[in-house]
Amino acid sequence: MNPSTITQIISFFIYWLLQVLLFRNVALFDTAFCFVYVGFLLLLPLEISLTALLLLGFGMGLAVDIFYDTAGVHAATMVIIAFIRPSLIQFLRPSGGYEAIEKPTLSKLGFNWFVMYAGITLLLHHSILFLIQGSNFLLWFSNFFVILASTFLSLFVLVIGQFLFYRSK
């Protein structure tokens, strides 16, 4: 196993443990829910294959589903996000490209790029998640504030994590 693979395995377990042990019970005013486990998918290397991305997204979602007792909701959502990620990264491609950048972190691509990337991904994730949980598109409109509040809370926590653990060298 190369060091990158070991780092990804450790990262998987850190995000999973943070989600199920710490952030599972975080709900601000029963409106904003924090889903930091999406950060694992956000920060995977840019050159990862789609197959690996889909499998890792499914694995993380399933691991969260086991502790949330949600019967595949998080797994389905993460697979959809994993499928969309390469297109989103291509859409947000900076003018200089991604040369010499292995992971899409705040320190390497800048605050604005990272917030746009993470914000769009989290908004899509939360919209899909709450739509699947509600099982009705009409409930999406009543959950709109919950989706936005959860997106902002999750984004805030992920950005703080970027500042704490992915500093420029």
What's the pTM?
0.90
Q: 50-108, pLDDT tens digit by residue?
A: 999 999 999 999 999 999 988 899 999 999 999 999 999 999 887 777 776 788 888 88
To the nearest 10 degrees (0 to 180), the angle between helices 3-17 and 50-68 is 30
Six-digit token string for 146: 């919950």
- The number of beta carbons lying within 10 Å of the beta carbon of residue 125 is 25
Ramachandran category for residue 51: left, alpha or beta (phi over 0 → left; psi -120 to 50 → alpha):
alpha
Q: 9-66, pLDDT tens digit by residue?
A: 899 999 999 999 999 888 888 889 999 999 999 999 988 999 999 999 999 999 999 9
